[in-house]
């Protein structure tokens, strides 16, 4: 699933492909925003961990993994 995280005072958003379910990501975001966790911690598909301070999260957008189309169009 594609996860986009907006960070306060940062010009670009963080975009990662996560193997976690939407429910797991939503639970981690809710815990971070409620103060249960000082950091939002998510893991991408390659096993790298992304950590964002909870008080700097502007927004989190969850979406499906986009399938890249390969081919040629006809005119």
Residue 16 pLDDT level (bands cut at 50, 70, 90): very high
pLDDT above 80 for 22? yes
Q: How many domains does one find in the chain?
A: 1
Q: Is the dihedral of CA 59, 23, 41, 43 positive or negative?
A: negative
The pLDDT, as a whole number, for residue 71 is 66
Whether 57 maps to a domain, the answer reads yes
Whether 12 maps to a domain, the answer reads yes
- Are 9 and 65 in contact, with CB atoms under 8 Å apart? no
Query: Which domain CATH number covers 51?
Result: 2.30.30
Whether 71 maps to a domain, the answer reads no
- What is the pTM for the complete model shown? 0.79
Q: Is the dihedral of CA 13, 17, 19, 21 positive or negative?
A: positive
The pLDDT, as a whole number, for residue 24 is 93
The pLDDT, as a whole number, for residue 66 is 57
pLDDT tens for 27-68 read 999 999 998 989 999 999 999 999 999 999 999 999 876 555
């Amino acid at each position: 699933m594609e996860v986009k995280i907006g960070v306060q005072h940062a010009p670009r958003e963080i975009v990662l492909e996560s193997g976690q379910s939407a429910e797991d990501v939503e639970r981690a975001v809710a815990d971070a925003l409620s103060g249960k966790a000082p950091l939002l911690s998510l893991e991408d598909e390659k096993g790298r961990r992304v950590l964002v301070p909870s008080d700097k999260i502007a927004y989190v957008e969850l979406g499906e993994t986009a399938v890249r189309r390969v081919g040629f169009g006809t005119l």
